[in-house]
Structure 1
C-alpha cells in the first residue's frame, strides 16, 4: 500500500491545500494594496490619491490580461477593447437622464433613461462581459498560438472601429462626457482586491490547471483528458470580465473619454506592465503595475521639458511610451520571465502536506473490458505507416508491441489513444466506436505516455499529476490526495513542489507514468517507457508496472526496444513490420517465429537459423 504525505482529512476538508496557499498569497497582495491606499489617503494629497486610484484600475485590467495570457500562453493584444466596452456601457447606464437627452439624442430607447448607481451598473456590465466573452471567445479560440494573438489584435481594431462608427450610442470620435465621477480610491481598491483574489485562485482551479497544462504541452494535456478549447474559453471569459470591470471603474474615474483612450496606447501599457512583472503569475501582474506606475510618474515629470541639474530639457512627446518600451525590452532581454519570474508567492508552500502520513485509498480493480483496433490503416502522403491492423487488447493483461525502427508501432499507439485520425478502420473502447480525440479517449479510460517525454515543465510535479486526477476525481482535494498517492508509488513525493523541469530524465519518465495512472485508466499505453533509463531504473519500472497490473487489473500495452524487459514483463507480444502484424503470441512463440527473425536479422540469416533449428529438432 502506498503511503502519501498528506492528511486525508486536510485534503478533503474545508479547503484544498492549493486553494489555501493561493488564498494566503492573494490576501498578502491585497494587504499591500490596501496599505498603499491607506498611505495615500492619510499622507497623500488629491494628486497622489488619483495616481493610486488609477493604479488600482489598471491592476484590475492587467489581472484580466494575466488570467488569459498568463495561463494560456497566448498573448492578447485586444484586452483594451473590452476595457473600452465596459467604460461605454457604464457611461450609458449611469449618465443622468436630463444630460443624456442632450448628449445622446439618438440613443436607442432601450438604452435610455436608466441612470443606475455605479454598483448596479457594474453588475450589468459583468453579466454583459460574460456574454461578450462567450461570443468572442468561442470562434477566436479555435485558433492557437500566434494566430490567436493576431486575431485578438484584429478584435481590438474592430471594437475601436465600432465605437467610432456608433455615433448614436458612443458620440463617435468625440468625447463621451457627462459620466458621474463616483469612483474614488476605496472603490477602485476594493474591486482590484477582488480581482487579485480571483486571478490567484483561478490559477488553481480545474480550468486554470488545464489552461496552464495546454500552454506547456498541448498533446500532453490532451492525453490526460484536458479539453483545451473549453479551458481556454473559461480563461478568456474571466479575463474579459476583469477587463470590463476595469472599464466600468475607468468611466467613472475619468468622467469623459473617447475611443482613442482604449486603443493601442492602453493595450501597449497593459502588456508592458504584465511583461515587466511576469506574465505567468498574479504576483507578476501586481508587481508589474506598481513598478510601471512609479516609472511612468517619474518619467512624466520630464516629458514636458524643463531644467534638470542645470540642463535644459526640451518637450519630449511620447517619452513615457518610449521609456516603457525600453523597460519592456530590457526585461525580456535580461529576465524573459519578468522581474518576479514564473512562480507565485507560495507563502504556505502547502506545508500541511508533509506534516502527517496517511495511507492512500486502496486501488480499485477495473471491470473486464477491451480495446479494439478494427482494420486500422494510416497513410502519410502515399507512405503506409500502418496497414490494415486488427487487434484486441483485454484488461488484466500486459501486451508488448515490438518491431524494427519505422515499423509503425508509435503510429498504431497514437491511433489507439485517439491522438491520430486513422485513414481507414476504427478504434473502439468497451465496444463503443470512438472518433479520434485524445482528450475524449483519456476520459473514456485510455491513458498513455509518449516516446518523447511530455510532462508540463513549468508546472510543479504535483500539479502535473493533479491535472490528470482532476478529470476523474470529484474535487480538487480528492485530486491532490490521489496525485500524492501516485507520486508516492513512483518515489517522487519529495519533489511534489518542485517544477517538473528540474527532475532528472528517469524521474520525468516516472512522472509521466504517475500522471497517466492518476486517470484511473482501464488501459495504459506506454511508448518506450524505459528509454534512457539505467538497469536499476528499468527494473524498478518493471516492478511498478507488474504491481499496477496486479492491483488494478488494467490492460497495459507497451512499445519497447528493450527485449529483456519485454520478454520478462509481457505475456503477449505483437510484432509489427512495415505497418503489418507479422506475429502475435506468447514470448516463446514469437522468439521462434521465422517472420520475426527475418524482420530483425534479415531473410538470409532467418533461413539459416530456421535450418539449424530444424536440424537440431531432427537430431533430438
Structure 2
C-alpha cells in the first residue's frame, strides 16, 4: 500500500489545521473590535462610546443570524424576535424588586422578586435560549428553502403578538422601564468577542461543515452521511443563543423598551448588515456591522433636517431605513456575495500543501459482508422503473451494471444507496435491513457518486472530503488527515484550499470519488464515473479503482456505458432491460448472451426507426 502524507492536518491530538486557522481569524477580528472600543474609550466622548457599544450589541445579534443563515442558506426573518425575548427575560430578572411591585403588579409569582446581576441573568437567558431554540427549531427545520424563511417571518409576528398580549409580564405595547443600565462599552465588547470566536469556530465544527454541505447540495450531503436536520438544528440553536445574548445586552443598554423595538425595523437592520458584509462568513458579519453602523450614523445627521451646504433639508422620517434598503440593493446587484465575499480571512491557510504524515490504513472488510436487494420494485405513477430485482453484492469484487438508456439502472442504484424508497422489496447491508435514508446508508458503509456530479461548489476541495471523513473519524484532526490522503490518491492535493467550483470537470469527478472513499465504505456505488472523461483520465480512474479494491477489499458496483472500461475492470456484469435483470455473469458470458445482444440491438433498431420517422416528418 502506498503511503500518503499530509502537512497541515495533525491527527495526533493537537489542534486541527481548520481550528487553528479559524482561531487566528477570530482573534484578529476580536483585536480589531477591542482596538475600536479602546479608541472610543480614550478619544471619544459619551456619544461615541454609546455608538460603539450599540455596534457591539448588534454584532452579537448579527453573528447569531450568520451562524444559522450564513451556514444553512436559509434566510431567517425572525432573529429579532429572539433578541426581544432575551431583552424581556433580562429585564424581568434584573429589575429592582421594589420597582417591580409597581411597574409589574400582575407579574406571575414564579417570575417575581429575583433581581439578579447582569451576568447571572445572562446565564439564565442562555439556558432559556437553548430550550427555546430546540422547541422552535425542531418543527421549523422540517421545512427548507423559502418555506422555512416564511416560517421564521411568521415566528417574528407570533413573538411580537405574544409580547404585546402578555401585559402582566411585558406591560404590553407600553414601554417596559426600570431595567438597570449596567451594560457599557467593555461588557458589550466582551460578549461580542465571544460571539465572534464562536461564529468563526462553528463554521469548522462537524455541525458547521454538515450544515454548509447541505446548503450546497442536500442529496450530495446525505450521500456522505450528513443528517441535515440535526446539523441545521444545531446551527439554529446556536443562532438563537447569540440573539438572546444580544437581547440581554440590549435590555440593560436601553433601560426601557417596547415590543416595537424588536420587530420589523430591527429584523431588517440585522439582515441588511449581514447582506452588505457577506452572509456566509463571520468576516462578512463583522465588516457589515461596521460599514452599516457608520452609514447609519452619517444618515442620521440628515434625518432630522437642517442646513446642509446652504440648503434647508426638511425632516425625513425613515431616511435611515431607506438608505439601508438602497445600500442592500446596490450590494446585491454589484456583489451578490457581499462586500467581503464568501470566504473568511484564512490567515493561516496556505495553498498547495503537501504530504508529511502517513495516513492510517483503512479497515479491511470481511467477505461475509453483503449488499442485498430482495425483490426490489419501483413504480412512478404508471411507469415501472425497476421490476422485481433480486441481487447480492459482496466485498472484494467489482460488478458492472449495464443496459440500454432508460433501463432502470440509476433507479436501482438509488435504491441500493437508500436515496429512493422501493415500492416493493427491501435492501440489506451486512445482513441488516435498512429503511430508505441516504445518510443512514452512508453511515452503514454504502458510499456512492452521482450521474450528475454533486460536489459542494462553495466549499473548498479539502472541506468537501472532510465532510465525509468526519462521519467515520474520531475527530477533526484525523478527518483532515484522511481527507488529504484521499485527495493525494486522486491527484488533487494541490487544490485542497481552492473552492471546488474552480475544478475542471474531470477533477470534480475524481473529487466525488475521493469524497466517497473518505467514508471508508464497505460498498462503493458509482454512477457513470467515467462520463465526460477523456481516455487518459478514464485509464487513471480504472487504475485507481483496481488499487482501492485490492487495498481495501471493498465491493464496487458501477453503472457505465463505456464497454471497454466495464469489460476490463469488472469481474461480474449485471444487465438490466425494462427494469428487469436479463443476464448476470462474467464479461465473457455476457458478451455471448443472446438476450443481451437482442436488448442492445433491439434498442438501437428502435432508436434508428424513431430517427427515420422524425426525419421523414421534418
The alpha-carbon deviation at position 356 of structure 1 amounts to 3.8
* Structure 1 CA distance for aligned equivalents of residues 409 and 362 of structure 2: 34
CA shift in 2, pair 1:521/1:60, >3 Å: same
CA contact under 8 A between 1:196 and 1:282: conserved in structure 2? Answer: yes
The alpha-carbon deviation at position 364 of structure 1 amounts to 3.7
The alpha-carbon deviation at position 514 of structure 1 amounts to 0.2
The alpha-carbon deviation at position 368 of structure 1 amounts to 3.3
Counterpart of 1:354 in 2: which secondary structure? coil
Counterpart of 2:204 in 1: which secondary structure? coil
Superimposed CA distance per residue, residues 561-586 of structure 1 (whole angstroms, 9 cap, x where no aligned partner)? 00000000000000000000000000
State which of 609, 612, 615 in structure 1 corresponds to 2:612.
Answer: 615
Aligned length: 617
Unaligned runs of 5+ in 1: none
The alpha-carbon deviation at position 619 of structure 1 amounts to 46
The alpha-carbon deviation at position 112 of structure 1 amounts to 0.4
* Structure 1 CA distance for aligned equivalents of residues 178 and 163 of structure 2: 17
Counterpart of 1:9 in 2: which secondary structure? coil
CA contact under 8 A between 2:367 and 2:396: conserved in structure 1? Answer: no
The alpha-carbon deviation at position 373 of structure 1 amounts to 0.4
* Structure 2 CA distance for aligned equivalents of residues 237 and 483 of structure 1: 29
Give the root-mean-square deviation of aligned CA atoms.
Answer: 4.6
CA contact under 8 A between 1:17 and 1:350: conserved in structure 2? Answer: no
Q: TM-score, normalised by structure 1?
A: 0.96
The alpha-carbon deviation at position 427 of structure 1 amounts to 0.5
The alpha-carbon deviation at position 6 of structure 1 amounts to 2.1
Unaligned runs of 5+ in 2: none
CA shift in 2, pair 1:243/1:407, >3 Å: same
CA shift in 2, pair 1:357/1:441, >3 Å: closer
CA contact under 8 A between 1:407 and 1:576: conserved in structure 2? Answer: yes
CA contact under 8 A between 1:60 and 1:192: conserved in structure 2? Answer: yes
CA contact under 8 A between 1:366 and 1:552: conserved in structure 2? Answer: no
CA shift in 2, pair 1:514/1:34, >3 Å: same
CA contact under 8 A between 2:9 and 2:481: conserved in structure 1? Answer: no
The worse-fitting range, judged by mean Cα deviation, of 56-65 and 302-311 is 302-311
Counterpart of 2:353 in 1: which secondary structure? helix
CA contact under 8 A between 1:2 and 1:489: conserved in structure 2? Answer: no
CA contact under 8 A between 2:469 and 2:518: conserved in structure 1? Answer: yes
Q: What is aligned with 1:433?
A: 433
CA shift in 2, pair 1:370/1:125, >3 Å: same
The alpha-carbon deviation at position 307 of structure 1 amounts to 1.2
CA shift in 2, pair 1:399/1:604, >3 Å: closer
* Structure 2 CA distance for aligned equivalents of residues 117 and 410 of structure 1: 62
CA contact under 8 A between 1:5 and 1:353: conserved in structure 2? Answer: no
The alpha-carbon deviation at position 491 of structure 1 amounts to 0.3
The alpha-carbon deviation at position 103 of structure 1 amounts to 0.2
* Structure 2 CA distance for aligned equivalents of residues 428 and 574 of structure 1: 19
CA contact under 8 A between 1:18 and 1:350: conserved in structure 2? Answer: no
The alpha-carbon deviation at position 312 of structure 1 amounts to 1.1
* Structure 2 CA distance for aligned equivalents of residues 357 and 442 of structure 1: 27
CA contact under 8 A between 1:2 and 1:359: conserved in structure 2? Answer: no
Superimposed CA distance per residue, residues 578-617 of structure 1 (whole angstroms, 9 cap, x where no aligned partner)? 000000000111111111111111299899999xxx9999
Superimposed CA distance per residue, residues 29-48 of structure 1 (whole angstroms, 9 cap, x where no aligned partner)? 00000000000000000000
Counterpart of 2:93 in 1: which secondary structure? helix
CA contact under 8 A between 2:352 and 2:494: conserved in structure 1? Answer: no
CA contact under 8 A between 1:11 and 1:17: conserved in structure 2? Answer: no
CA contact under 8 A between 2:84 and 2:244: conserved in structure 1? Answer: yes
* Structure 2 CA distance for aligned equivalents of residues 4 and 45 of structure 1: 59
CA contact under 8 A between 1:363 and 1:551: conserved in structure 2? Answer: no
The alpha-carbon deviation at position 188 of structure 1 amounts to 0.1
* Structure 1 CA distance for aligned equivalents of residues 370 and 350 of structure 2: 40
Superimposed CA distance per residue, residues 12-36 of structure 1 (whole angstroms, 9 cap, x where no aligned partner)? 3320000000000000000000000
Q: What is aligned with 2:171?
A: 171
Superimposed CA distance per residue, residues 53-111 of structure 1 (whole angstroms, 9 cap, x where no aligned partner)? 00000000000000000000000000000000000000000000000000000000110
The alpha-carbon deviation at position 232 of structure 1 amounts to 0.1
The alpha-carbon deviation at position 11 of structure 1 amounts to 3.8
* Structure 2 CA distance for aligned equivalents of residues 343 and 382 of structure 1: 47
CA shift in 2, pair 1:504/1:299, >3 Å: same
* Structure 1 CA distance for aligned equivalents of residues 542 and 219 of structure 2: 26
CA contact under 8 A between 1:385 and 1:579: conserved in structure 2? Answer: yes
* Structure 1 CA distance for aligned equivalents of residues 350 and 131 of structure 2: 36
CA contact under 8 A between 1:177 and 1:255: conserved in structure 2? Answer: yes
* Structure 2 CA distance for aligned equivalents of residues 228 and 619 of structure 1: 50
* Structure 2 CA distance for aligned equivalents of residues 57 and 77 of structure 1: 18
CA contact under 8 A between 1:598 and 1:606: conserved in structure 2? Answer: no
Counterpart of 1:353 in 2: which secondary structure? coil
Counterpart of 1:352 in 2: which secondary structure? coil
CA shift in 2, pair 1:353/1:20, >3 Å: farther
CA contact under 8 A between 1:567 and 1:587: conserved in structure 2? Answer: yes
Q: TM-score, normalised by structure 2?
A: 0.96
The alpha-carbon deviation at position 314 of structure 1 amounts to 0.9
* Structure 2 CA distance for aligned equivalents of residues 128 and 114 of structure 1: 16
CA shift in 2, pair 1:70/1:359, >3 Å: closer
CA contact under 8 A between 2:370 and 2:430: conserved in structure 1? Answer: yes
The alpha-carbon deviation at position 7 of structure 1 amounts to 4.1
CA shift in 2, pair 1:202/1:149, >3 Å: same
Superimposed CA distance per residue, residues 250-307 of structure 1 (whole angstroms, 9 cap, x where no aligned partner)? 0000000000000000000000000000000000000000000000000000001111
* Structure 2 CA distance for aligned equivalents of residues 141 and 514 of structure 1: 30
